[in-house]
Amino acid sequence: MSRRHPFYARPLLATAAAVAVLAGTAAAAPADTPPDRPATLAAALDDTYYQDALGKTGTELKAALHTIISDQTKLSYSQVWDALKATDEDPANSSNVILLYTGRSQSKNDNGGNADQWNREHVWAKSHGDFGTATGPGTDIHHLRPEDVSVNSARGNKDFDEGGGELGEAPGNYTDGDSFEPRDAVKGDVARMILYMAVRYEGNDSFADLEPNEQVNNGSAPKMGKLSVLKRWSQEDPPDAFEKRRNDVIFERFQHNRNPFIDHPEWVEAIW
């Protein structure tokens, strides 16, 4: 239990504790969560966390998930730095984080504003809905990831689609004037982050209702495209160990809410 995370001392949700007990792990030691979680964890989540969503589809499922995942702890933008050092830790080197698009392993302490340092990439670009970095969608670590500063700039606020020229500094990633295509290994991760944001933010707080659509060039509209491409990416790149561990760490240590599409990727098609 790190003293750098005062919010970590907050009592865990009953569901988190129940899940930890059933999974045979200690909720206070999320860093020790094995990459391949026991099947009992998924079953325990269905019996507790997702109880009110099971058996639903479409708008009913989306509404149930919105209620479930809106019960969360919220971070400040400065707390995000330390959170990402835990959520995106390199499993092969605990001193490093893995950068989302480049896939590079880089020192946790090499964060900042220089071109080859890492900073906080908003996968749902913060201009799409103009939510900035106030506590809320702009500090929701389910879609905030470490990324190389200049690669983050190259992505900018572009919508997601396939095509364009390959980024020299981030092989496997492509961009053109109005869209960005992440490398294959994180295509599904990106899709599930965008769809989490769409369910979590429904316009019933002080922020915009975020929704995916079929457009690029969405600009400052609270939309992100292209939905059909994101759905395909979610199918082609199912949740992996890194992504699942990340979801667990956010749930157990930081926000105490989950990305439902990592636990139940079939819910993408059930809603959209």
Give the shortest CB-190-to-Ca ion separation in angstroms: 9
Binding positions for Ca ion, 192-231, rule CB under 5 A: 198, 202, 209-211
Give the shortest CB-174-to-Ca ion separation in angstroms: 17
Contact between 14 and 22 (Cβ < 8 Å):
no
> Is 184 a residue that touches Ca ion (CB under 5 A)?
no
Select 192 or 253, whichever has its Cβ closest to Ca ion: 192
> Is 176 a residue that touches Ca ion (CB under 5 A)?
no
CA distance 207 to 198: 12
Q: Is residue 175 helix, strand or coil?
A: strand
> Is 103 a residue that touches Ca ion (CB under 5 A)?
no
Q: How big is the site for Ca ion, counted in residues (CB under 5 A)?
A: 9
> Is 140 a residue that touches Ca ion (CB under 5 A)?
no
Contact between 169 and 102 (Cβ < 8 Å):
yes
The one segment of 83-91, 115-123, 150-158, 232-240 that binds Ca ion by CB under 5 A:
232-240
Give the shortest CB-243-to-Ca ion separation in angstroms: 6
Give the shortest CB-259-to-Ca ion separation in angstroms: 13
- Rg of the chain over CA atoms, in angstroms? 17
CA distance 134 to 6: 19
Give the shortest CB-204-to-Ca ion separation in angstroms: 9
> Is 237 a residue that touches Ca ion (CB under 5 A)?
yes
Among 107, 117, 240, 270, binds Ca ion (CB under 5 A): 240
CA distance 272 to 270: 6
Contact between 219 and 154 (Cβ < 8 Å):
no
Whole-angstrom distance between the N-terminal and C-terminal Cα of the chain?
A: 39
Closest CA to 73 of 260, 224, 263, 256: 256
By CB under 5 A, name the binding residues for Ca ion.
188-189, 198, 202, 209-211, 237, 240
